[in-house]
A and B are shown apart, each in its own frame.
Chain A
Amino acid sequence: MQRTLEDFYHAVRAAGVPVPPSGSIAASRAVALVGYRERDLLKYALSMNLANSRHEQELVETCFDDFFRFETFGSTEAASGGEDAANDGPEAAPEVRPPRPDGDTTPDYQGDLPLAQMLMQRDRSALARAMQEAARDAGLTDIWFFTQKSLYTQQILQRMGMRELQEEIRGLAQGDCPTRIATAGALREAKDWLYEEVRDFVERQLGIYGKTAVQDLRERHLQKTRLSNIEQRDFHTMHQLVRKMARRLSTLYSRKRKRTDRGQLDFARTLRSNVAYGGVLFDTHWKQRHIDRPRVLVLCDVSGSVQAYSRFLLLFLHSLNDVLARIDSYVFTSGLAPVNAIFDRYPVAEAIDLIMAEHGFGGSDYGGMLLDLERECLAAIDHRTTVLILGDARNNQLDPRSHILQQVHQRAKRVLWLNPEPESFWNTGDSVMRNYRPYCHLARTCNTLEHLERLLDDLLKAATAS
């Protein structure tokens, strides 16, 4: 049974719940206490030990139901009641394909090949057991991709004795004896049925063990794809991915605190560190600590060429709202438009769609945008603000007005420029990156989700470093 439990932990891991060795040890101990008799209790005991949140609890319990489903042959077609039900019930007749000997036409098998005997006697439980064992030998729990299906099916069949069965059939079919030929025919039919059963079984197991492998691969791929190449149908996955990355960053940075040097005196601490000075309160300690959250002013170009990048930057930033004190979002093509109100009113993903629909047209004019910035929010930029600009700096031969960016640079804590183009393309054609670059603390290529994550990681690190 320990083997089965180990397989179950494997399946739980594949379902996306990380189970450390300590977790599986604890779960096994719990199972030893609870016993196997009551299914529900076993399920609760396992989920309590393996899951760490309500979401994981649901995953584990679904996995339990899938995994400990009563595996019988033909269970998908007929009721899982076993051979009796399949024999008696007339409704099962067309689906259950193993040859049934109730008619006098069915020949008897007198050979001594175990697999053939099982097939002819329709011993479902023995077949199921043989299949499970063969699957274990073949290492079916390591199955990852659907392309491995036929490989594992073949391996399981070989281990169950398929080759011998084929030889037996060939042997029976030779010669003239009609009963032997009939037996061979019945066995051939049973063999096909067995093949399909095993393939179904492998497919079900793939569903259990290979679920997340494919997803992982896909996510890894999406992280490295240029954001402009991501298609609409992947947006949902991308949003989830962004949320996941944002959660990682926020857990990393949400708890960094700086000590203050004012407020309420931490008397005990102070006294403790001043015992050395004979109790004179010399070296003071204070109770308050504050979380230093960066304030971000983000300016996103939403003209056609950069729109896709802006979408994900905004999405990422707004998923980080518990570690950022304040996000002022503006989008621009030629003029600056505040979009905070939209973010306040709608959920993030929906808000972004609205913004893109409303503002995302026309060629960009960085000079015009900077003029608006100077007029509207230069006063609000101070030494705590990080200014984040996303754009390709392709100004359509207009005046770049970089002196405004210079002012911003002087006032702000940091100015970061994210350019979706690779650095070798900067300053080519109508790009005016060379005019802006001196006034940025950091200018970087940013065209995949990975770049975005790295950049925001930097931003938070710089902001919380004391």
Chain B
Amino acid sequence: MRRKFATDFRPEQPTSAQHQRNPGVSDARRGEPVLGYNLRLRRDPPGAAPETGWPMKELRETHFSSIAEVASAFERQGYICDERIATCVYLAHNLEKPVLVEGPAGVGKTELAKTCATLLDVPLVRLQCYEGLDESKALYEWKYAKQLLYTQLLKDKLGELLDGAQGLRASMDKIHAHEDLFYSEHFLEPRPLYRALHEPGGCVLLIDEIDKSDQEFEAFLLEVLSDFQVSIPELGTIAARVKPMVFLTSNNSRELGDALKRRCLHLHIPYPDAALERRILATRVPELDARLRRQIAAFVEQLRVLDLKKVPSISETIDWARTLLLLHATELEPAMVRNTLNTLLKFETDIEAAGEQLRGFVDKARQAAAGG
């Protein structure tokens, strides 16, 4: 009964044609969303969340029943998250609120959204922000060339259409009797936001580096983020089929507006401590020897205390661990560390600053690894 209810209300079955219209959304997973969702519906637990009025939404709510479950599910996907992140994802998923993720570069802000998409088994729609990004690149664009071409092609059809009409008024009435074909979805070029709202099974929408965009774009996003709908003057208001799960990331290169922040859950991801970093390394570079892993984590932790231009974050640590693995290192050696330091530190001045204390750091890291 319930299943029928859900399918009946689904506004449009996804067809392969529709998928082809959205070439930017890359995924092999897209092949089976309908089946996948219906199967999931049957797993609906008895204590599921109350009716939200939009039947499709229920499908999403079956996923996480507790915060601990979120954390373990993320871990299975290879993303180690602390309680704060897990709480945030759980709340965002259940409250249908966007998440504003802040933090230094490379701590896994973008990765969080990607993992979430994998976990929920929905496509990830990504919108990279930059200065000058406007709604014609983010939401939709009319296919002007096609429109112009069609007006030329259909010129002679106009005569047939107006056949028998007397005078200007009658001709206009005749034209008005037809719907506005040129401003219909056939001439619409969908952009990421539009695609995200139209995704039949819902999606994870990642709006990356929102701080790089302009003030106007930020204001434009407000409608999308609070009501999950957009207004297109020619078509009217378009609401999301399934409210997407939205992640916004920011490096704080400029202060975001209060209105935007208020609509989001605020999550700050800091640099991890050594213990967390060891766990991350263990999942990301599992081939690594346990002792070397401890040494790496201890070494990087010492580096972060230095006054550096760009402090190494998790992604750099992982890169470095992979580098060391490639070089068949079993233990940190000052010479090897010196030669591979450029994967960890990105500025010459930083490398020089760290270079002076390198030997001490390596010794300490070894001691810490031996002690732990």
Interface residues in chain A, defined as those with a beta carbon under 8 Å from any beta carbon in chain B? 20, 22-23, 26, 29-30, 33-34, 40-41, 44-45, 47-49, 51-54, 56-57, 247, 251, 255, 268-269, 271-272, 275, 279, 287
Binds A, one of B19-27, B87-95, B271-279: B87-95
Contacts known (A34-B67, A41-B67); A52 close to B144, Cβ less than 8 A: no
Contacting pair A30 B258 (CB below 8 A): no
Q: Which residue of A lies closest to B83 (CB)?
A: A40
Q: Which residue of B lies closest to A287 (CB)?
A: B132
Q: Which residue of B lies closest to A268 (CB)?
A: B136
Q: Which residue of B lies closest to A19 (CB)?
A: B262
Contacts known (A30-B91, A30-B95, A45-B91); A52 close to B262, Cβ less than 8 A: yes
Contacting pair B87 A23 (CB below 8 A): no
Chain A residues whose CB sits within 8 angstroms of the CB of B132 once the complex forms: 287
C-alpha spacing A422/B285, complex, angstroms: 71
B328 → A minimal CB distance (Å)? 41
Contacting pair B95 A29 (CB below 8 A): yes
Chain A residues whose CB sits within 8 angstroms of the CB of B87 once the complex forms: 34, 41, 44-45, 48
Q: Is B268 an interface residue (CB 8 A)?
A: yes
B132 → A minimal CB distance (Å)? 7
Chain B residues whose CB sits within 8 angstroms of the CB of A41 once the complex forms: 67, 83, 87
Q: Which residue of A lies closest to B100 (CB)?
A: A52
C-alpha spacing A23/B226, complex, angstroms: 13
- 0/1 per residue, B52-65, Cβ < 8 Å to A? 00000000000000
Report the contact-size class of chain B (Cβ under 8 Å from the partner): 20 to 34
Q: Is B121 an interface residue (CB 8 A)?
A: no
Q: Which residue of A lies closest to B92 (CB)?
A: A48
A76 → B minimal CB distance (Å)? 30
Q: Is B266 an interface residue (CB 8 A)?
A: yes
* Contacting residue for A275 out of B84, B91, B144, B262, CB 8 A: B144
Contacts known (A34-B67, A54-B102); A48 close to B91, Cβ less than 8 A: yes
Contacts known (A33-B90, A33-B94, A34-B91); A48 close to B267, Cβ less than 8 A: yes
C-alpha spacing A52/B258, complex, angstroms: 8
Contacting pair B261 A26 (CB below 8 A): no
Interface residues in chain B, defined as those with a beta carbon under 8 Å from any beta carbon in chain A? 67, 83-84, 87-88, 90-91, 94-95, 97, 102, 132, 136, 141-142, 144, 147-148, 214-215, 255, 258, 261-262, 265-268
Contacting pair B144 A49 (CB below 8 A): no
C-alpha spacing A54/B67, complex, angstroms: 22
Contacts known (A34-B91, A48-B88); A268 close to B266, Cβ less than 8 A: no
C-alpha spacing A26/B132, complex, angstroms: 32
B160 → A minimal CB distance (Å)? 22
* Contacting residue for A44 out of B84, B144, B148, CB 8 A: B84
C-alpha spacing A26/B136, complex, angstroms: 32
Task: Provide 5 A-B residue pairs closer than 8 Å at the C-beta atoms, listed in order of the A residue.
Answer: A26-B95, A34-B91, A48-B91, A48-B265, A53-B266
Q: Which residue of A lies closest to B189 (CB)?
A: A268
Chain B residues whose CB sits within 8 angstroms of the CB of A26 once the complex forms: 95, 97
Q: Which residue of A lies closest to B49 (CB)?
A: A33
Chain B residues whose CB sits within 8 angstroms of the CB of A40 once the complex forms: 83
A254 → B minimal CB distance (Å)? 8
B60 → A minimal CB distance (Å)? 14
Contacting pair A271 B144 (CB below 8 A): yes
Chain B residues whose CB sits within 8 angstroms of the CB of A275 once the complex forms: 144, 147
Chain A residues whose CB sits within 8 angstroms of the CB of B147 once the complex forms: 275
* Contacting residue for B95 out of A33, A53, A268, CB 8 A: A33
Chain A residues whose CB sits within 8 angstroms of the CB of B90 once the complex forms: 33-34
Contacting pair B261 A279 (CB below 8 A): no
A340 → B minimal CB distance (Å)? 24
Chain A residues whose CB sits within 8 angstroms of the CB of B144 once the complex forms: 268, 271-272, 275
A41 → B minimal CB distance (Å)? 5
Q: Which residue of A lies closest to B131 (CB)?
A: A289
Chain B residues whose CB sits within 8 angstroms of the CB of A48 once the complex forms: 84, 87-88, 91, 265-267
Chain B residues whose CB sits within 8 angstroms of the CB of A53 once the complex forms: 102, 261, 266
A144 → B minimal CB distance (Å)? 25
C-alpha spacing A30/B83, complex, angstroms: 15
A265 → B minimal CB distance (Å)? 14
Chain A residues whose CB sits within 8 angstroms of the CB of B214 once the complex forms: 255
Q: Which residue of A lies closest to B147 (CB)?
A: A275
Contacts known (A45-B87, A48-B87, A255-B215); A57 close to B95, Cβ less than 8 A: no
- Besides A48-B84, A49-B265, A49-B266, 7 other A-B contacts (C-beta < 8 A): A30-B91, A44-B83, A49-B91, A52-B262, A251-B255, A268-B144, A279-B148
C-alpha spacing A29/B90, complex, angstroms: 12
A293 → B minimal CB distance (Å)? 15
Contacting pair B91 A52 (CB below 8 A): no
C-alpha spacing A315/B288, complex, angstroms: 53
Contacts known (A22-B262, A30-B95, A268-B144); A57 close to B136, Cβ less than 8 A: no
| Most chain B Cβ neighbours within 10 Å, of A22, A54, A269 | A54
C-alpha spacing A279/B146, complex, angstroms: 12
Contacts known (A251-B255, A275-B144); A54 close to B88, Cβ less than 8 A: no
Q: Which residue of B lies closest to A247 (CB)?
A: B255
Chain A residues whose CB sits within 8 angstroms of the CB of B95 once the complex forms: 26, 29-30, 33
B167 → A minimal CB distance (Å)? 24
A379 → B minimal CB distance (Å)? 34
Q: Which residue of B lies closest to A50 (CB)?
A: B266
| Most chain B Cβ neighbours within 10 Å, of A22, A26, A48, A269 | A48
C-alpha spacing A272/B142, complex, angstroms: 9
B234 → A minimal CB distance (Å)? 11
| Most chain B Cβ neighbours within 10 Å, of A33, A56, A247 | A33
Q: Which residue of B lies closest to A33 (CB)?
A: B94
Chain A residues whose CB sits within 8 angstroms of the CB of B142 once the complex forms: 272
B52 → A minimal CB distance (Å)? 13
C-alpha spacing A26/B214, complex, angstroms: 27
Contacting pair B268 A268 (CB below 8 A): no
Q: Which residue of B lies closest to A18 (CB)?
A: B258
C-alpha spacing A287/B267, complex, angstroms: 34
C-alpha spacing A34/B91, complex, angstroms: 8
Contacts known (A41-B67, A255-B215, A272-B142); A52 close to B148, Cβ less than 8 A: no
Contacting pair A54 B268 (CB below 8 A): yes
Chain A residues whose CB sits within 8 angstroms of the CB of B97 once the complex forms: 26
